[in-house]
Amino acid sequence: MARVLIIDDEDLVRLTISQTLKKMGHEVVEATNGLAGEEFFRAGEFDLVFCDIIMPKKEGIQTIIDMRRENRWIPIIAMSGGGRTKNTDFLEMAETLGATATLPKPFDRKQLTSVVNTYLQKAA
Amino acid sequence: MSEADLLRRRLDRERRARAEAERLLEEKSLELYEAKTEVEKSLERVQRREALIKSVLDNVLDGVITFDANGTIRVFSGAASRIFGLHPDEVVGGPIGTLIPEFDLADKASPFAAVVNGNEFNELALGGYETTAIRKDGEEFAAEAAVTQFNLMGVQTIVVTVRDVSRQKHDSAVRHELESQLRHLQKMESLGTLAGGVAHEFNNMLVPIITLTELTQEELDEGSLEHENLGHVLGAAARARSLIAKVLTFSRKNDPSIEEVRLSDVVQTSASLLENTIPSTTRLDIEVPRPEMIIHGDRTELEQIILNLVGNGSAALNGEEGWVKLSFETHFVRNRSRENRMGLPEGEFILLTVEDNGSGMDDETADRIFDPFFTTKSVGQGTGLGLAIVHSIVERSQGLIDLRTAPGEGTTFRIFLPAPSEQENRAQDDDMQASEAA
């Protein structure tokens, strides 16, 4: 059983990931923004983190940078529904700045479980 | 009185007469000299005035032409020579209609026709004209002509001042086109931003719709009505996902991944995809004279252009027998050509043409086809994003779309994309030959 942190401001997205992971037998902690997510990250040991990009209080890119400073090894999966600035894709940016992998929304169960299995195995 | 006295008197008379004659001659000579000087001065004044008039006529920017009641050119100024590229000797004595067809006196519809009929000048012919004139090399150009007339010693004379406004017309057309493009670009920009935001929200909503449905479906007996119904939900979600992906493609603002793409590869991939999507009633003709040609572009985007245009061409056949022609060639855009006036710089471009013999479009439809979500297809058949995506891709590539269509006359899309230099392609051809030889 692994401990997974989900940081996303969308209740139903958190619920979806949470239910899928619980069904896989993992323990889940949820945070609704980057600031809360970072506090959980510092407080507890996690095996995997899912982090959304566009969030209130503290957005995902800076959250990923700060979490990566705290811990170099935990796999962090950046998620986004496809927003862009002028020339940069948020997910590409997140990957460059510390995310281990990206998961574009919308994803289905197969894609979600595949990411979880891949990165938990690598972490183990 | 002696004979000697008589002779002396006669001699005196003759001397006096001679002296008088000499005096008169001298007086007349002086008068003549004065008259000659006066004439010479007058002549010089006339010559000076003529030279002044000629200099003025030659140096004003507008060309001055006069012609008589028969339409015969009498005066052709230096400025007119520069504008038309003709020496006065080549036109004086010739008809005005060869320079300005609208002023052809032989044309009964011309306001100048009345000049011939009865030598009466038609006052209606006076005034300003926006007309077309013809240069020596046959090139037509836009001209403004002001017409006045006077009567010189009983001879009716028409004066035309001609101004070459082709440059202004060209600049104005280019400005108009650029303004129109800018308006469209701004509209697309704001729609793109809006579409990107909406797409982001939808993607978030689709996560629970898809994944929770899958989780729930797993709990149900396969074959049950509930399981089947959730299958329909997932099918609809998949369609929504695909639509959102298209919206995001349209709203993308980043530079495409430009790479060297071989034309034959793009055409081949597109053709195989099209085989499965267009009906058998559509005959697809592909013409690529230089399939090995390399172009710079985003391969996926090029395929999207082809798939959308050919798909639309096929749809325009409405299920009836017909054809869609797809061709790739190089095209040199010349100065003042249609494409140049539409905003393309002079130079070589790749020209992709997609032509169909389908139903065509009226002006109202043609004006809106690049707007996102505008579609003429029935509900569920089209998203209205295909051509908006094509437009967005071509804009980003600094290319141009030229559309020609009319109801019942089919549609032709000409897509101009920047071409690699000839040198690059020659090098690629050489590499190709070398590898074939090897």
Interface of B with A (CB under 8 A): 196-197, 199-212, 214-215, 237, 241, 244, 248, 251-255
Burial state string for B391-408 with b = 16 or more CB within 10 A and e = fewer than 16? bbbbbbbebbbeeebeee
Mutate which of B194, B198, B203, B249 to disrupt the A interface (most A C-beta within 10 Å)? B203
Q: Quick one: pLDDT at residue B254?
A: 45
Mean pLDDT of B51-59: 85
The CA distance from B244 to the nearest CA of chain A, in Å, is 10
What is the spatial distance between Cα B191 and Cα B268, in angstroms, rounded to a whole number?
Answer: 33
Q: Quick one: pLDDT at residue B136?
A: 92
* Interface contact A88, partner B, CB < 8 A: yes
What is the spatial distance between Cα B178 and Cα B322, in angstroms, rounded to a whole number?
Answer: 36
The answer to whether B410 touches B356, Cβ cutoff 8 Å, is yes
Residue B438 has pLDDT above 50, yes or no: no
Q: Nearest CB to B196: which of A16, A84, A107? A: A84
Q: Using DSSP, state whether B337 is helix, strand or coil.
A: coil
Residue numbers in B near A89 (CB within 8 A)? 254
Tell if the CB–CB gap between B203 and A23 is shorter than 8 Å. no
Nearest residue of chain B to residue A107 (CA atoms): B207
What is the spatial distance between Cα B2 and Cα B9, in angstroms, rounded to a whole number?
Answer: 11
Mutate which of B198, B211, B214, B241 to disrupt the A interface (most A C-beta within 10 Å)? B211
Q: Nearest CB to A105: which of B204, B215, B254? A: B204
Q: What is the pLDDT of residues B167-216, one digit of tens each?
A: 888 888 877 777 777 777 777 767 777 777 788 888 889 999 999 999 99
The answer to whether A119 touches A100, Cβ cutoff 8 Å, is yes
* Interface contact A56, partner B, CB < 8 A: no
Q: What is the pLDDT of residues B89-137, one digit of tens each?
A: 999 999 998 999 888 877 777 767 665 555 556 666 678 888 999 999 9
Q: Quick one: pLDDT at residue B323?
A: 93
Supply φ then ψ for residue A49, to 5 degrees: -130, 135
Measuring CA to CA, which residue among B355, B338, B372, B343 is closest to residue B411?
A: B355
Binned at pLDDT 50, 70 and 90, residue B252 comes out as low
Average pLDDT, chain A: 88
The CA distance from A93 to the nearest CA of chain B, in Å, is 13
Nearest residue of chain B to residue A112 (CA atoms): B211
Supply φ then ψ for residue B165, to 5 degrees: -110, 20
What is the spatial distance between Cα B425 and Cα B422, in angstroms, rounded to a whole number?
Answer: 5
Residue B392 has pLDDT above 60, yes or no: yes
Nearest residue of chain A to residue B253 (CA atoms): A86
Mutate which of A6, A8, A13 to disrupt the B interface (most B C-beta within 10 Å)? A13
> Which DSSP letter does residue B101 get?
G
**Sheet-wide strand order for B282-287:** B282-287, B322-333, B347-356, B411-418, B400-405
Residue B278 tokens, joined? 């267009």
Residue B325 has pLDDT above 50, yes or no: yes
What is the spatial distance between Cα B215 and Cα B218, in angstroms, rounded to a whole number?
Answer: 5
The answer to whether A82 touches B203, Cβ cutoff 8 Å, is yes
Binned at pLDDT 50, 70 and 90, residue B423 comes out as very low
Binned at pLDDT 50, 70 and 90, residue A14 comes out as very high
The rounded percent of chain B whose pLDDT value lies above 90 is 35
Global model pTM greater than 0.80: no
Tell if the CB–CB gap between A88 and B254 is shorter than 8 Å. yes
Residue numbers in A near B211 (CB within 8 A)? 16-17, 20, 107-109, 112
Mean pLDDT of B296-324: 86
Residue B243 tokens, joined? 């639509």
The answer to whether A8 touches A32, Cβ cutoff 8 Å, is yes
Q: Quick one: pLDDT at residue B35?
A: 92
The CA distance from A77 to the nearest CA of chain B, in Å, is 15
* A5-14, A93-102, B110-119: the lowest-pLDDT one: B110-119
Residue numbers in A near B198 (CB within 8 A)? none
Residue B307 tokens, joined? 């798939």
Q: Quick one: pLDDT at residue B430?
A: 55
Average pLDDT, chain B: 83
Nearest residue of chain A to residue B214 (CA atoms): A109
Supply φ then ψ for residue A33, to 5 degrees: -160, 175
Phi/psi region, residue B380 (left: phi>0; alpha: psi -120 to 50; beta: rest), is left
DSSP string spanning B295-338?
Answer: EEE-HHHHHHHHHHHHHHHHHTTTTSSEEEEEEEEEEEEPTTSH
Continuous H helices in A1-124: 11-23, 34-43, 60-70, 90-96, 109-123
Residue B253 tokens, joined? 């603002």
What is the spatial distance between Cα B317 and Cα B275, in angstroms, rounded to a whole number?
Answer: 16
Residue B373 has pLDDT above 80, yes or no: no
Nearest residue of chain B to residue A110 (CA atoms): B211
Q: Rounded to 5, what percent of chain A is helix, strand, coil?
A: 45, 20, 35
Distance of alpha carbon A104 from the chain centroid = 11
Measuring CA to CA, which residue among B329, B318, B337 is closest to residue B408?
A: B318
Burial of B203 (C-beta count, 10 Å sphere; 0-12/13-18/19+): buried
Binned at pLDDT 50, 70 and 90, residue B421 comes out as low
What is the spatial distance between Cα B261 and Cα B301, in angstroms, rounded to a whole number?
Answer: 11
Residue B2 has pLDDT above 90, yes or no: no
Count interface pairs A-B at CB distance under 8 A.
78
Q: Nearest CB to A84: which of B202, B205, B254? A: B254
Tell if the CB–CB gap between A16 and B203 is shorter than 8 Å. no
Q: What is the pLDDT of residues A105-121, one digit of tens each?
A: 999 999 999 999 999 88
Mutate which of B198, B204, B213, B217 to disrupt the A interface (most A C-beta within 10 Å)? B204
Residue A87 has pLDDT above 60, yes or no: no
What is the spatial distance between Cα B305 and Cα B299, in angstroms, rounded to a whole number?
Answer: 10
Q: Quick one: pLDDT at residue A39?
A: 94
Q: Which amino acid is at B340?
A: N
Residue B359 tokens, joined? 């139903």
